[in-house]
Structure 1
Amino acid sequence: MPQGLPRKIRYAFVTQGLLLILAVVFGVSLLTLLTRDALIKQRLTVEAQAFWDRRDAGTGEWLPETATLRGYFRPADAGGAVPPDVASLPQGVNFDYRGHKAVLVQQRPAGMLYLVLHTSGIDGLMWTSAGVMIVLGLLAAMAITGITYRKSRRMVLPVNRLAEEVERWDPSQGDLTAPLVLSEFADEPSREVQALSHALQGLAGRIGEFVQRERDFTRDASHELRTPLTVIRVASDMLLADPALPAHGRRPLERIQRASRDMEAVVDAFLVLARESGVAPVSEHVDVAEVVREEVEKARPLLAGKPVELRLAVEAEPALFVPPSVLGVVVRNLLQNACHFTERGSVDVSVGQDRVVVRDSGIGMSADTLRHVYDPFFRADAFSPLGKGFGLTIANRLVRRFGWQLQLESVEHQGTVATLRFTPASPA
């Protein structure tokens, strides 16, 4: 049975059933006890009145003496043989529950009447009846509780199933239509369940349209950016190939060329993110160590003039089956952040069998900054000219898209450790 609301209802009905059982047992027991005492009082009162009537009529005193009832009389002007334990009782009906006995003491001008009634037979009959009543009451309570629980479960279970479907639904993974078919939840769904299901279907449709518009925009914008980037790269290639190009003009052109290649890689990453999750991007086996080496060399100019050492340690040569630009975009963003925010010390990059680790001795991040580091356009220093606060967002989305893990550990004023974990591809 699903957890959540049906489970809470089950606990509620179990609690209700236990309370109902206690109420039935207590109520029947109390009613039996009161009825027993009332019947005994009535019988003793009737027997006493019959004795006084016979005495007043002069037909004889005729004290009752049966297997269950014994009478004693002590005249006002003479003594009488009355057991001491009976003679010491006050007037009225006295109950001895342990001894299964009831004694009526009644005084009139003619004398004192004592009627002793043994109640074991009455007690057995009454408590047997009470037991039958308790069993029947419990069976009825269990039947009513069970029927009510089944009805309530049938009403609540569709709501719980809808909640589970909504929780599993992830439009970011390409599932733009939530599977909220009423026939899956109940044969005859209630009006409330129908209204909730239709509302969720409408919400799912609106979210799907929004996600699709975002993907279309990302795809179209990425395609539009390719044309000017291609023009820039081709023009810079032609200028660099000109032997008459002066030396002071070569360095800016090389920077333009590197920037255009980096921008093309970012555009490719956007296209990967814009694809449906079920559509596999064009991939190939990529040497992780080689990609990291290239990105490390590209990052060295960022440390120009800083007393910072950039070191690379290759401990393994793993391969990934991914689009060629994806790994470069992720590693580049991690390296750029490390280089931008490290003023002295070192930036150490290591390549392992299933991870790439970038460790710096920079300014680090506070716990609050670390919680928002993947938010788009978030920057710890809003006035810093370094970046737009979008690099780690892109990197994190790419990492999630390919099932990798990106973990950031940072201590303010001590540095940051970024760990990219992946599953190496089998050899081609």
Structure 2
Amino acid sequence: MATARSGLRRKIWVAFILQAAAISFAAVLGVYGASAVLKHVLIQRALQEEATHYWQRLASDAQAQVPDTYNMTGFLVPAGGSQAALPEKLRPLDVGFHALSRAEGGSLVLVERDRNGHMLYLLFKQEQVDSLAFWFGVTPLAIVLVVIYVIAWSTYRTSKRAVSPVIWLAGQVQRWDPKHPEASALRPENLPVDVEGETLVLASSLHDFASRIESFVERERDFTRDASHELRTPLTVIRVAGDMMESDENLSPLSRRALKRIQGAGRDMEALIEAFLILAREGDTGLPDDDFAVSSVVEEEVEKARVLVATKPVELRLVKEDDFHLHAPARVLSVLLSNLLRNACHYTDEGSVTVYLRRGSIAVADTGVGMTPDELARVFEPFYRGGDRKKDGQGIGLSIVQRLSQRYGWPVRLESEARKGTVATISFPLLPPMA
């Protein structure tokens, strides 16, 4: 909740800070530009006009005095006259505008020569320029920045109050348990008084949505509970009846073959029901996590699969190169491995089906019909059947394998070549060795 609550507020705060900083930067640039204009345009123009005015006065009065005020000082060097009376810092200056350094007095200087060869030097004090720049630049800038910051802070407070209902709503939703969303907090009578407009519509929609989720979760829970009991009961009856019929020595060969098909279909149906019930549960399978040796599950599933190849010239064997432990529902691994074994046995009419148990992986290799590259690319699609399509099957075994492997993080890799067989490998994250 803290992340959701601070995230939106922080973004708004950062947005206003950046906005105020950008406006401040633009204002500073504006004042700096104004200062440059003041120094290099207005003052230069004033000096130019002052020089023009002096030349006019000198033309009408040969004894006209050069400007000498608090801010401006003038010097005149007659044509061919000596520069002895001229300050040393001005002597090397050519005609035009010049800016003296602070060490030289920091003045702006205009040097002009009239048509008679007289040289006029006009100096404007830099201190006065800086003072003008301060009073006509920095002071208004400070006032403008204060106004900007006050407006930005007021706008931020207003925006914060405007988004507070959204932040409250995000906090309520973040506290929800996905399996048991508490929609009661979003009932109209429980909403804060400041929740209105679009936020009210959103809260109402979320309340309706959460109520529907609750009903869906309850329906899923009822279905898996009822299906677990109701679907297994008739299959148990069929399996027991089949075992009793199998013990009858008077069965004809035709009846015994039919009985084998019934028993095989029953086993397939039991495995499918088990897989569907696991996949039907959202997230939690309802099965306990155990620390178990993988070899115990593999050995059990290999023994169960022997009946699938009992009537075919196929050797089913287990090669245990290493063993390791998992922390997961053992039943999930049983369902996953049984589907791979059933698929391998189903599509292998002669040769072998070999299960390799290695450190961190289980591989099921067969010498069956195999698959082409095009079939291999589609093998995980539901109801798609590669290889020999004349064989019985639902085409969903490998789809179930993929969905279970994705849920538990056990990636499955298939390698196959037409008429040479298939290798399915399950990889597992390893637990540290048990004490």
Q: TM-score range by the shorter chain?
A: 0.5 to 0.7
1:228 match: secondary structure? helix
Match of 1:331 in 2: 337
Q: CA deviation at 1:70?
A: 2.6
Correspondence for 2:74 among 52, 71, 74: 71
Q: Report 1:308-347 matches (<5 A).
A: 309-314=315-320, 315-316=322-323, 322=329, 326-341=332-347, 346-347=352-353
- Matches of 2:305 and 2:211, distance apart in 1: 44
CA separation of 1:104/1:322 partners in 2, compared to 1, >3 Å: closer, same or farther?
Answer: closer
Q: CA deviation at 1:281?
A: 4.7
Conserved 8 A contact 2:415-2:424: no
Q: CA deviation at 1:28?
A: 0.8
Correspondence for 1:389 among 376, 380, 395: 395
**Is 1:416 aligned with 2:416?**
no
CA separation of 1:243/1:385 partners in 2, compared to 1, >3 Å: closer, same or farther?
Answer: closer
1:257 match: secondary structure? helix
**Is 1:125 aligned with 2:131?**
yes
Q: CA deviation at 1:27?
A: 1.0
The answer for unaligned runs of 5 or more in structure 1 is: none
CA separation of 1:140/1:72 partners in 2, compared to 1, >3 Å: closer, same or farther?
Answer: same
The AA in structure 2 aligned to 1:407 is: P
- Matches of 2:365 and 2:271, distance apart in 1: 24
CA separation of 1:290/1:69 partners in 2, compared to 1, >3 Å: closer, same or farther?
Answer: closer
Q: CA deviation at 1:334?
A: 1.4
- Matches of 2:375 and 2:249, distance apart in 1: 54
Q: CA deviation at 1:229?
A: 2.3
Q: Report 1:39-54 matches (<5 A).
A: 41-42=45-46, 45=49
**Is 1:350 aligned with 2:356?**
yes
Q: CA deviation at 1:29?
A: 0.7
Correspondence for 1:405 among 379, 387, 409: 409
Match of 1:103 in 2: 110
CA separation of 1:198/1:274 partners in 2, compared to 1, >3 Å: closer, same or farther?
Answer: same
- Matches of 1:393 and 1:187, distance apart in 2: 51
**Is 1:26 aligned with 2:33?**
no
Conserved 8 A contact 2:340-2:398: yes
- Matches of 1:188 and 1:97, distance apart in 2: 65
Q: CA deviation at 1:141?
A: 5.2
Q: CA deviation at 1:330?
A: 2.0
Q: CA deviation at 1:116?
A: 0.7
TM-score in terms of structure 2 length = 0.66
Q: CA deviation at 1:331?
A: 1.6
How many residues get paired? 413
Correspondence for 1:232 among 231, 238, 241: 238
- Matches of 1:344 and 1:53, distance apart in 2: 124
- Matches of 1:191 and 1:321, distance apart in 2: 48
1:388 match: secondary structure? coil
* 1:247-301: CA deviation from partner (whole Å, max 9, x where unpaired): 6644543453354244335434444555676794589998754543343244345
The answer for unaligned runs of 5 or more in structure 2 is: none
- Matches of 2:352 and 2:149, distance apart in 1: 74
The AA in structure 2 aligned to 1:71 is: G
Q: Report 1:147-226 matches (<5 A).
A: 174-175=179-180, 188=194, 191-206=197-212, 209-210=215-216, 212-213=218-219, 216-217=222-223, 219-220=225-226, 223-226=229-232
- Matches of 1:320 and 1:71, distance apart in 2: 97
* Cα RMSD after superposing both structures: 5.6
The AA in structure 1 aligned to 2:238 is: I
1:295 match: secondary structure? helix
Conserved 8 A contact 2:379-2:398: no
**Is 1:35 aligned with 2:48?**
no
Q: Report 1:135-154 matches (<5 A).
A: none
- Matches of 2:159 and 2:282, distance apart in 1: 41
- Matches of 1:42 and 1:125, distance apart in 2: 17
Q: CA deviation at 1:407?
A: 1.2
- Matches of 1:123 and 1:407, distance apart in 2: 77
* 1:394-428: CA deviation from partner (whole Å, max 9, x where unpaired): 44555677xx433112345274333163888x99x
Q: CA deviation at 1:354?
A: 6.5
Conserved 8 A contact 2:20-2:149: yes
* 1:85-113: CA deviation from partner (whole Å, max 9, x where unpaired): 699636xxx453656313275979x9979
Q: CA deviation at 1:333?
A: 0.5
1:406 match: secondary structure? coil
The AA in structure 2 aligned to 1:35 is: L
The AA in structure 2 aligned to 1:26 is: L
- Matches of 1:384 and 1:170, distance apart in 2: 48
Q: CA deviation at 1:345?
A: 6.5
- Matches of 1:368 and 1:11, distance apart in 2: 55
TM-score in terms of structure 1 length = 0.67
Conserved 8 A contact 2:309-2:345: yes
Q: CA deviation at 1:201?
A: 4.2
**Is 1:260 aligned with 2:266?**
yes
CA separation of 1:127/1:308 partners in 2, compared to 1, >3 Å: closer, same or farther?
Answer: farther
Conserved 8 A contact 2:186-2:206: no
Conserved 8 A contact 2:224-2:281: no
Q: Tell me whether 10-19 or 195-204 shows the greater mean CA deviation.
A: 10-19
* 1:375-397: CA deviation from partner (whole Å, max 9, x where unpaired): 54355579665533322444455
1:256 match: secondary structure? helix
CA separation of 1:284/1:4 partners in 2, compared to 1, >3 Å: closer, same or farther?
Answer: closer
2:231 match: secondary structure? helix
- Matches of 2:99 and 2:278, distance apart in 1: 91
* 1:206-253: CA deviation from partner (whole Å, max 9, x where unpaired): 455456555555555554434432442333233234354456644543
* 1:350-380: CA deviation from partner (whole Å, max 9, x where unpaired): 346765443456636859966882x543555
